[in-house]
A and B are shown apart, each in its own frame.
Chain A
Amino acid sequence: MNLPMLGVINLIHETDEMGGLTAGRCLATVPFGGRYRLIDFALSSMVNSGIPKAAIFAHTKFRSLMDHVGSGKSWDLHRKGRGLFVLPPSMEDQTDFGKGDLYHFYRHRDYFTRSEPFEYVAITRSHMVCNVDFARVLEDHRQRGADITVVCKRSPEPVAGLARRVKVNEAGRITEMQEHYGRLSSDVISMEMYVLSKELLLDLVESSLAKGQDHLVRHAVLSSLGTLKVNAYLHEGWLGIVNNVAGYYRHNMELLQPEVWQELFFRNGPIFTKVKDEPPTRYRPGADVSDSLVANGCDIEGTVRNSILFRGVKVRKGAVVENCIVMQNGVVGENGSLTNCILDKEVEIRPMQHLRGAEEMPFLAVKRKVI
């Protein structure tokens, strides 16, 4: 069923400390989980929840994004009048790049005003990897009469990625929210997903900009905590915060727990991604693979342990891959060994090479590197 809700995936000034992984791409298109890009999770959550119209507010390095999402067909968002809208920044001059996201919301306001039957808006980022049901968030939002509902996650353990902490009172209302470097002690973190009425959003956009404030969360939401009813909706499922290398590595590796794999990929519906038509993975005699996620099109002759292989990866005879993430079309040559490594797309490890990263800080090879 369709929800009366528009989606916005806001990529403007997304916190990105991914180093070489975002050298040539935006955070939203960082490969994740064997065959996905980060944005697939937000997009699929929206589609699975029944949101029929979603926009991506692109900002920088979005060539890979355009290539990945195309017409939106892979997400079933290739629709008449609805579906997917990729909106690059509409700017008058270069300096507009530095302006806050509210400025871009304002420039894209036609997207909201032209979407008549949609009363609500769900705004997300791309780096919160999860499978959220926005229908339940909206139900909670309406039932509790909230002005803004923020999807949050209770996380008693310290998180690897960078996230805002929030303080929630007994009534579930957010009383305080701080940037990731703040000192607020709370075990609740914001998943940077906001549900609010379209009317309130447009009001916040215009009145904040009029006051010289141009950031959605830092200005509009934070300054409304006392005046508006800003509620927390606690997400029960798994969450990966992927905006730095440590978070990227840790949350990928968490997918090797079958419970996490099941929850993320099956519970609220499938995660959709661009189809590549790779054949099933070929395990050759002598292959030895355990505790690993393997996408299609791989050709494995060596040993793979506790690792994630993206589509089309080749592990040659005698090679040993352990605690690694090997992205699309990576090649690990004969009798080589890799431990605690992240290989970006199309990296080739020549035969007999031995690479080892630290457990806390994996070795990162950038795209197309030959070692």
Chain B
Amino acid sequence: MRRNECIAMLLAGGEGRRLGVLTKDLAKPAVHFGGKYRIIDFTLSNCVHSGIDTVGVLTQYQPLVLNRYLGIGSPWGLDRKEGGMHVLPPYVRSKGGTWYKGTANAIYQNIGFIERYEPEFVLVISGDHIYKMDYGLMLEAHKRNRADATIAVITVPWRDASRFGILTADESGRVVEFAEKPKKPASNLASMGVYVFSWPALREELIRDEADKSSSNDFGKDIIPRMLRDGARLYSYRFEGYWKDVGTIESLWQANMDLLDDRADLRLNDPAWRIFSVNPNQPAHYAAAGAHVTGSLVNEGCLIRGTVNRSVLFHGVTVGEGSFVEDSVLMPGAVVGAGARVVRAIIGEEAVIEDGCRVGSADSDEIAVVGSGETYRDENRLKEAKTV
């Protein structure tokens, strides 16, 4: 087996419970984003562009859609003779087997996988976040600091700081304090859930963590605090750029809207950093006579006869004659009939909004959601959808 300097372990088992009907049948990394992608495309593409060609994808919750989507990794160029992408679900051993008990336990259960590649470093990332990042630069910093672990951090607004794992670092970037979702944050440097570990150090920590029966086997709650207590060389790595955890309906909607805003700094049309995804083989989209499309992202295979403002349309979406779509996200194959009105809404995959229906409202604080495959007929259904 060829020796790899650094391999990636991508945590893709997230339930995404706060995404409601959108994660009913699929894991959070498989949720559609940005008109043609699924969330996991961003981290997988980051790996490829960072020169990491061995990626273990740890799946657990509702893996069917994700497994089918990932295949053998071809769309990301990860179908390789050596290394490449491997989907790693929990498995049964001779002495039984268990679900992944936590993020750290997921890696612990795959120590055997990692050792086959004899890596010096292991990158641990999560398939839940939207960002473009060169992990190679972070790895360089890790090596320069002779660190045991390096944690990528991003500056967040102070008011949001208590939602994240918050780090305090000294001038050299060495971590002096770490608190998971602190009530009174000591800094506004949030952990992005992107870690580079020196493999021998991580291996030892994983084994110790597993032996600790009181541990919740989580990187943020257990591994990092313990390493800090023990005086391990923990460094922070500052990331500048767009990063978003799309954990809620609101943040998923907002991240999609960010793509329509040049100030948000998430540029998809970057030939040097393409986000790869499974191609659905759809023809060029068709804007009919009478269509009005402005300030929007539209993918292939769409058929637009109505008005679309500030919205994101995935492949194969139909917008009927006289319909009005604004500030909305329409997932693959969604159908908006004629004379319908969709405002501030997320319409799930292959959902149907029948002729003349109204979904969402510009005055509402909440984002209206219609689940995948649902048919939306009358006003009552809107109320149901809104409470999700």
Contact = CB atoms under 8 A, between A and B. Distances in A.
B32 to A, nearest CB: 12
A283 B285 contact: no
Nearest to A281: B298
B291 A277 contact: no
Nearest to A274: B279
A284 B296 CA distance: 7
Interface stretch (B187-195, B270-278, B352-360): B270-278
A36 to B, nearest CB: 8
A286 B314 CA distance: 21
A277 B284 contact: no
A310 to B, nearest CB: 8
Nearest to B292: A288
B294 A283 contact: yes
A258 B286 contact: yes
Interface residues on A, range: 35 or more
Contact of A290 (B275, B283, B285, B291): B291
B283 A34 contact: yes
Interface string B290-309: 11111111111001000010
Contact of B297 (A256, A281, A288): A281
Contact of B293 (A35, A287, A291): A287
A259 to B, nearest CB: 11
Contact of A280 (B36, B276, B283): B36
Interface string B98-134: 0000000000000000000000000000000000000
Q: Is the interface of B mostly helix, strand, loop or mixed?
A: loop
Interface residues of B, number: 37
Contact of A308 (B34, B274, B284, B313): B284
Given A73-B74, A258-B303, A283-B297, A293 B290 contact: no
Contacts of A294: 284-287, 298
Interface stretch (A61-69, A194-202, A265-273): A265-273
Interface in B2-52: 34-36
B277 A277 contact: yes
B289 interface: yes
B288 interface: yes
Contacts of B232: none
A292 interface: yes
Contacts of B289: 290-291
A34 B288 contact: no
A293 B284 contact: yes
Q: Is the interface of A mostly helix, strand, loop or mixed?
A: loop
B35 A289 contact: no
A280 B283 CA distance: 12
A272 B279 CA distance: 10
A138 interface: no
A33 interface: yes
B94 interface: no
A275 B278 CA distance: 9
Given A290-B290, A296-B299, A34 B275 contact: no
A258 B285 CA distance: 11
A261 interface: yes
B283 A265 contact: yes
B290 A35 contact: no
A254 interface: no
Contacts of A281: 285, 297-299
Contacts of A272: 281
B269 A279 contact: yes
A273 B284 CA distance: 12
B287 A35 contact: no
Contacts of A284: 294-295
A293 B276 contact: no
Most buried by B among A277, A278, A286, A292: A277
B324 to A, nearest CB: 15
A282 B283 CA distance: 16
A128 B296 CA distance: 35
A35 B298 contact: no
| 5 residue pairs, one from A and one from B, having the closest CB atoms | A34-B284, A280-B35, A279-B268, A280-B299, A265-B283
22 contacts: A33-B283, A34-B283, A256-B286, A258-B286, A261-B286, A265-B282, A280-B34, A280-B268, A281-B285, A281-B298, A283-B295, A283-B308, A286-B294, A287-B293, A288-B292, A289-B291, A291-B287, A294-B286, A296-B36, A296-B300, A299-B269, A309-B284
Given A283-B293, A286-B294, A291-B289, 8 more contacts: A33-B284, A272-B281, A281-B285, A281-B299, A282-B269, A282-B297, A287-B293, A295-B300
